[in-house]
Amino acid sequence: MKAPGKLAALTLAALLAVTACGGGGDAAPAAQGPQPLRMSIWTSNEAHLKLFNEIAAEYRKSHPQVGEITFDPIPFENYTTTLTTQIAGGNAPDLAWILENSAPDFVGSGALVPLKSKVENAGELVPAATRLWERDGELYAYPFSTSPFGVFVNTDLVKAAGQKTPRELIKAGQWDWEHANEINKAVAAKGENGLTILNFDYKAWDNLATVWQGWGARAWSEDGGTCQFNAPEMVEAMTFMHKAVFTDKSMPGPGTAVDFFSGDTAMAVAQISRAAMLEDATFKWDLVPLPAGPKGEYAVIGQAGIGVLKKSPKAELATDFLAYFTNAANSAKLAAYFPPARGSLLTADTMAKTSPMLDGDQLQDVVIDGIEKGVVKPSHTGQAELAQTVRAALDPLWKPDADVKAVLDGVCAKIQPLLGG
Amino acid sequence: MTDLGDRVAERPATRHRHFWTIPRRDALVGYLLVSPQLVGSALFVLLPLGLVVYYSLQEWNVLAGTFEFVGGDNYAKLLADPNMGQVLTSTALFSVGLVVLNLALALALAILLDQRLRGTTLFRTLFFSPVLVSLVAWTIVWQFLLQQDGGVNGLLGVAGVDGPNWLRGETTALLSVVVVQVVKNVGLNMVLFLAALQGVPRQLYEAAQLDGAGAWTRFLRITVPLISPTILLTSIITVVGSLQVFAQIAVLTQGGPGMSTTVLVYYLYQQAFQFRHLGYGATLSVLLFLIVAALTLLQWRLRRKWVFHES
């Protein structure tokens, strides 16, 4: 009987020891010598990483107290989940990219270090870009990428289907969803894929904002309190999409594997940073703004911020590096892939120097105009649970015989309690 | 241990001179031999188990860094959770489907391979090999096969059948996950059954045959009772395993469509890691633990009624 008693005592002691440091998670004081820094990111693109490493190497030359700076790529699909699990496990990075859909959670929870006084010339940051990252007048993450969605076009496939290119339609003032749908229908009839919305895959529904915004629809009200999935604009937009998928077949249906970058798809709605993946493209491509919807022209932007985690024992060093990483000179370099939020950089001339992949029209129409008039993808406190609940409630829509209005009513019934009313 | 100590104490002559009596030395060696396992169990099984219960009484906000004792709040939330009905139904359907299909198929394959026919070794290897394949790699391959225009529907198309969109229909998605899991693991149970079948004395069959027993009667009256300990073992392993299936669901369906494949373990992952309700996730773990423990206990208790060679 003694051994089990001792075992229990030992277990209890270990349990107390572990829990004592489990909840608080305050790390040990920093050791002496050069301090390494780690930044969680979701790109593993070689060109992106090369640029980050160059900036980091430059910084370390004048900052011997900083050791190796690691850019730690986490797969995009599970980015926020992996990041928060790292934080929960006491393995938080010093700096982290934050996706727009989790901005309210990160900014609202107080997990991030205030940055306003540290960022170089914060006054020139475009208000549309910083709004999501501010609370009570303080800036909690640097909006390093304000990336409008555009439509990448495989012009070879469009021409092979005997269609006018989107560029030609823009000149004729006819670049709208109806015309885009006709092109994609024709391409699909030839056995290739029409239009795909990157990362959507009939799950990540927030990417559909790139379509429904054209109808003036929204996921929820401005204040976040009321579901608007069953509003007439949304029903119309989703009816259009349902018809495109199941009647016109102009969008590849659920469970179909497509890869625009390998050349099997006519159009892809994606953020402009994807241009980097077209460097070795074997087909001719173009980048055009989103087609106009019934409510006219519009733009949707995705955002990413870089924050310094309060939990990091090297938060001060990390903040200093962040200020360097995002100063005007480095912002200009980063602008090659990540559209900047600095007003001084937002001109076609400046951007043309840093974005060799895109031409003047593409930069002006998609990037600069997009950032000016763009609406940010939907985000809300508790976004992960909302996203999952909407995903489950929206699934019945992706069947040929779906009743669009009924499904959207169902979405609102499910998420209204989560929206807080 | 106390008994041993008392017995030693009854012999005063040796009490002071030799503390390390033979029984004590044997006991020490025994404890030393089991200690690595005991320490491992304490650190990696008992401690996490205790921690899960402890966390289930807390509200832990990872981002804000707050950790508060909330008592039974998470358990009250569990009882009021509107998703629980659907989650438990999916879990039950999944487990029953998996266990029945896995055991039936494993036994059928084992019986076929137990025949003295040419090529059985090849087939044994063939059916067992998926067990050795990496789970995630296996599942990703199946994800491609099960797509609308994937390999499974391609094969069905050759036969003139227009296959469904497997992973997008509520029933077919659940069925797909079950089948992918069964094909992956059936080889393990098959090998266990095969070993058990080969332990059944052939004379019994011959004697029964002389008495005029048919194949079905021989199977029911001789095979099943004699391999019943193995049936018990495989059913416990499979039931417990079925309740812990996670990677296949994470890769194939992410719990959808709707919530049709959101089984308990996946729901707890969503709550704890995606929605960051770590306290509530821990509460769901406690529920999962209780369900697994209850089912295992039930099977263990019921063994007396049907397992042969048990006292």
Residue B148: per-residue pLDDT: 85
Question: Has residue B69 been placed in a domain?
Answer: no
Of A19, A254, A382, the CB nearest to B51: A19
B149 to chain A: which residues are within 8 Å by CB? 255-257
Whole-angstrom distance, CA of residue A274 vs CA of residue A199: 12
Residue B128: per-residue pLDDT: 93
Cβ within 8 Å, pair B256-A105 = no
- Residue A342 gets which letter from DSSP? B
Question: Has residue B73 been placed in a domain?
Answer: no
Answer yes or no: do B134 and B221 share one domain.
Answer: yes
Whole-angstrom distance, CA of residue A324 vs CA of residue A329: 9
Residue A10: per-residue pLDDT: 44
Give me the number of domains chain B comprises. Answer: 2
DSSP structure string for A167-211? HHHHHTT--BHHHHHHHHHHHHHTTSEEEEETTTTTT-GGGGHHH
Whole-angstrom distance, CA of residue A68 vs CA of residue A59: 11
Question: B4 pLDDT band (50/70/90 cuts)?
Answer: very low
CB B31, CB A3: distance < 8 Å: yes
Whole-angstrom distance, CA of residue A178 vs CA of residue A269: 15
Answer yes or no: do B200 and B301 share one domain.
Answer: yes
Q: Reply yes or no on whether the pLDDT at B192 is more than 90.
A: yes
Q: Reply yes or no on whether the pLDDT at B283 is more than 50.
A: yes
Question: B287 pLDDT band (50/70/90 cuts)?
Answer: very high
Question: Has residue B311 been placed in a domain?
Answer: no
Whole-angstrom distance, CA of residue A229 vs CA of residue A206: 12
Cβ within 8 Å, pair A254-B148 = yes
Cβ within 8 Å, pair A203-B259 = no
Which has more confidence, A344 or A349? Answer: A344
Answer yes or no: do B18 and B110 share one domain.
Answer: no
Answer yes or no: do B88 and B176 share one domain.
Answer: yes
Which residue out of A265, A381, A389, A395 would a mutagenesis test of the B interface target, given it has the greatest number of B Cβ atoms within 10 Å? Answer: A395
Interfacial residues of A (vs B; Cβ cutoff 8 Å) = 1-3, 7, 10-12, 14-15, 18-19, 22-25, 81, 84-85, 87-88, 105-106, 109-111, 202-203, 253-257, 310-311, 382, 384-385, 388, 391-393, 395-396, 398-399
Task: Decide which of B18, B39, B55 is a domain's last residue.
Answer: B55
B276 to chain A: which residues are within 8 Å by CB? 84, 88, 105, 384
Residue B121: per-residue pLDDT: 86
CA closest to A86 among chain B residues: B62
Q: Reply yes or no on whether the pLDDT at B311 is more than 80.
A: no
Question: Has residue B77 been placed in a domain?
Answer: no
Question: A318 pLDDT band (50/70/90 cuts)?
Answer: very high
Answer yes or no: do B89 and B51 share one domain.
Answer: no
Q: Which domains does chain A have, with CATH numbers?
A: 35-147+302-376 (3.40.190.10), 151-300+379-419 (3.40.190.10)
Task: Give B87-114 pLDDT, tens digit per residue.
Answer: 999 999 999 999 999 999 999 999 998 8
In the structure encoding, which two tokens stand for residue B87, read together?
């989650």
B38 to chain A: which residues are within 8 Å by CB? 7
Question: Has residue B188 been placed in a domain?
Answer: yes
Interfacial residues of B (vs A; Cβ cutoff 8 Å) = 1-2, 31, 38, 42-43, 46-47, 50-51, 54, 58, 60-65, 67, 144, 146-150, 165-168, 254-259, 262, 270, 273-276, 278
Whole-angstrom distance, CA of residue A272 vs CA of residue A32: 42
Task: Give A265-301 pLDDT, tens digit per residue.
Answer: 999 999 887 887 888 899 999 999 999 999 999 999 8
Long-range contacts for B93-98 (Cβ within 8 Å, ≥24 apart)?
A: B93/B174, B94/B174, B94/B177, B94/B178, B94/B242, B94/B245, B94/B261, B94/B263, B95/B239, B95/B242, B95/B243, B97/B174, B97/B175, B97/B178, B98/B178, B98/B181, B98/B182, B98/B238, B98/B242, B98/B245
A103 to chain B: which residues are within 8 Å by CB? none
- Structural domain span for residue B28: 2-55
In the structure encoding, which two tokens stand for residue B116, read together?
């003295």
Residue A202: per-residue pLDDT: 92
Question: Has residue B67 been placed in a domain?
Answer: no
Task: Give B20-52 pLDDT, tens digit per residue.
Answer: 889 999 999 999 999 999 999 999 999 999 999
Answer yes or no: do B24 and B165 share one domain.
Answer: no
Answer yes or no: do B125 and B10 share one domain.
Answer: no
Query: Residue B295 belongs to a domain with what CATH number?
Result: 1.10.3720.10
Task: Give A75-127 pLDDT, tens digit per residue.
Answer: 988 899 999 999 988 899 999 999 998 999 999 999 999 999 999 888 888 88
Residue A144 half-sphere exposure toward CB, CA atoms < 13 A: 28
Q: Which residues pair with B192 in a beta bridge?
A: none
Question: Has residue B157 been placed in a domain?
Answer: yes
Whole-angstrom distance, CA of residue B254 vs CA of residue A350: 43
Task: Decide which of B55, B73, B95 is a domain's last residue.
Answer: B55
Question: Has residue B271 been placed in a domain?
Answer: yes
Answer yes or no: do B92 and B51 share one domain.
Answer: no
- Residue A31 gets which letter from DSSP? P
Answer yes or no: do B127 and B31 share one domain.
Answer: no
Task: Give B233-267 pLDDT, tens digit per residue.
Answer: 999 999 999 998 999 999 999 998 999 999 999 99
ipTM of the predicted structure?
0.81
Residues in contact with B228: Cβ distance below 8 Å, sequence separation at least 6, in sequence order: B306, B307, B308, B309
> Which amino acid is residue A37, in one-letter code?
L
Size of interface A-B (CB pairs under 8 A): 110
CA nearest to A19, candidates B19, B302, B53, B122: B53
Task: Decide which of B55, B74, B94 is a domain's last residue.
Answer: B55
Whole-angstrom distance, CA of residue A320 vs CA of residue A37: 11
Residue A280: per-residue pLDDT: 86
pTM of the model: 0.84
H helix count then E strand count, chain B:
17, 2
Residue A249: per-residue pLDDT: 95
Q: Reply yes or no on whether the pLDDT at A4 is more than 70.
A: no
Q: Which residues pair with A300 in a beta bridge?
A: A375
Q: Reply yes or no on whether the pLDDT at A65 is more than 60.
A: yes
Answer yes or no: do B193 and B109 share one domain.
Answer: yes
Answer yes or no: do B115 and B190 share one domain.
Answer: yes
Question: B16 pLDDT band (50/70/90 cuts)?
Answer: low
Answer yes or no: do B163 and B277 share one domain.
Answer: yes
CA closest to B45 among chain A residues: A11
